[in-house]
Amino acid sequence: MNKEVLSLIFLFQMYGQSFCRNGTRPNIVMVMSDAFDGRLTFDPGSKVVKLPYVNYLRELGTTFLNAYTNSPICCPSRAAMWSGQFVHLTQSWNNYKCLDANATTWMDLLEENGYVTKSMGKLDYTSGSHSVSNRVEAWTRDVQFLLRQEGRPVTRLVGNMSTVRIMRKDWENTDKAAQWIHQRAASSHQPFALYLGLNLPHPYKTESLGPTAGGSTFLTSPYWLKKVSSELITVPKWLPVDAMHPVDFYSTFTKNCSGVFTVEEIKSIRAFYYAMCAEADAMLGQVISALRETGLLNNTVVIFTADHGEMAMEHRQFYKMSMFEGSSHVPLMIMGPGLMSGLQVNQIVSLVDLYPTVLDIAGVAAVGHLSGHSLLPLPSKARVFSKNQHPDWVLSEYHGCNVNASTYMLRSGRWKYIAYADGLTVPPQLFDVTLDKEELHNVVLKFPDVQAHLDKLLRGIVNYPEVSKHVHLYNRKAFGAWRHSVGTNYSQVIANLRWHVDWQKDAFAYERAIDKWLDGSL
């Protein structure tokens, strides 16, 4: 650990003695990364790459070892975090349809209750964003036609050992956040809430595939790559293609990962991804340093999390959009006055818990029904009893592209149960994540009583067959409206999306498959 981090630890131990020092409400700073694997915040994952500021939060704050996204894709996940409600309640079905711009977030409530608030960087939780490709892929996922929707994952090395700032937009936003902290320290005694959204370590667009390409390039410099311990990079085990669950196979194909990858390619992709995580960690560090330099660290609660993880070639996939741990397991670390240091919490939690937690920290009453529960009683030194204890399960759901059935994950105890569509047409999965950390053994047939219990519990939380039906109807209607909007240009527009097919050969067949899907369902 470097000297700066050691000095930060010393200062925090000196001054971070009370939750609301001198009777004042604490400042709140949240840094939300994109596609950061939560397993890197604790052992053994934390050993593969040097993340000094994540390590700093782990030593002086609380690490939640079992934190999950409520939807493993950007916008629906962030919509759940900002609203405190599950995806099926907000109807945030994909990266295009999320929250209304006027939806009340926890930041709005803090502002109404005397906090100075500021949001910077990637927000990505309201409806209407993202590319035409992304939304069409989501709307037409039920079409019986396989498309390689993503570019093959690749790596790209830039710069040299002095090249530090690669994701320039993120660094610009981080600089602005640090400057804002300095301005707040000099101008006001009001408590503040600052949110910084990062794009890293999300893969970069693959420019060689044209302007509509998705993000399939893992890009870094020698400076960050040196932070990775190459000897500790594991090569994940893959099931044979013919043994894969049908939805997992669909995802593998659409993510362009069904071909041959050498061991060197796989290790390189994973190394570059870890290096990108190291760059994101440095941005977190700049925010923490600004709090220290201004004397605000001792009365500020710092939260680090992410919208989802990154598969990084686990299960023959990259990107997110999966309920496997690499995609669904997120970091969640909280540090602040009155909170315990070095605590690791096993309680299963999710991003919807951040809404009530932040309000609890600020002493602000929540408004309306929330899906989450405050986590503050868990790391608090006061150990205040909460009448609203957190349940022993979390829910995650997915309705977007690269997956051809609505997906529902219930994590409870040692079990991860995954149900699809109407619960009948697509077989479920059951993993014992304690014994089978790589999630290679679907034991749903071996433990029918466990499956029955968890399916009953899941149906008590969400009537998932009805939700799946609702999403299916939405997809048809939304795609039909879009197709009508482009008129006679439809064939040309759809041919120019980012799918990696031979359009001379397959465009006509795909259009006919869409027509059949629409005509057979409407």
Per-residue DSSP letters for 4-69?
A: HHHHHHHHHHHH---TTGGGPPPEEEEEEESS--GGGGSTTGGGSB--HHHHHHHHHSEEEEEEE-
What is the SS3 assignment for 277?
helix
Please, what is the Cα angle at 114 between 112 and 115, to 5 degrees? 95
Q: What is the rounded radius of gyration, in angstroms, for the C-alpha atoms of the chain?
A: 23
Examine the residue annotation and report whether 74 is marked as an active-site residue of this protein. yes
Among 450, 449, 471, which residue's Cα sits nearest to residue 462? 471
d(CA 51, CA 435): 28
- Most distant CA atoms of the chain, gap in Å: 71
What is the SS3 assignment for 415?
strand
d(CA 135, CA 216): 18
Annotated catalytic residue: which of 74, 75, 257, 277?
74
- Residues with Cβ within 8 Å of 439's Cβ and at least 6 positions away in sequence, in order, are 315, 324, 325, 416, 431, 433
CB 451 within 8 A of CB 428: yes
For the chain, what's the residue count? 522
Burial string for 410-437 (b: 16+ CB within 10 Å, else e) reads bbbeebbbbbbbbbeebebbbbbbeeee
What is the SS3 assignment for 298?
helix
Residues with a known catalytic role: 74
